[in-house]
């Protein structure tokens, strides 16, 4: 799992450096992780408000 994360980082950095439109496949894969991150942030934010 750690090796996969390390290998994915350089690819994403190259995409940002090239400033080219992100391919649809890469975008779809990114959305899954983005949704998970947003859900975690929202849940933590709600907990802070409720507390």
pLDDT of the residue at 36: 81
Q: Is the pTM of this model over 0.85?
A: no
Question: Do residues 30 and 22 make contact, with C-beta atoms less than 8 angstroms apart?
Answer: yes
Question: What DSSP character marks residue 15?
Answer: H
> Reduced to 3 DSSP states, what percent helix, strand and coil does the chain have, rounded to the nearest 5?
85, 0, 15
pLDDT of the residue at 35: 81
* Separation CA 28–CA 16 (nearest Å): 16
* Separation CA 14–CA 12 (nearest Å): 5
Question: 3-48, pLDDT tens digit by residue?
Answer: 554 555 555 555 455 555 556 656 666 677 888 888 889 999 999 9
- The full length of the chain comes to 51
């Amino acid at each position: 799992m750690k090796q996969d994360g390390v290998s994915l980082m350089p690819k994403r950095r190259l995409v940002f450096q090239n400033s080219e439109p992100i391919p649809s496949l890469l975008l779809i894969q990114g959305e899954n992780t983005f949704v998970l991150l947003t859900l975690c942030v929202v849940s933590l934010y709600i907990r802070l408000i409720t507390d």
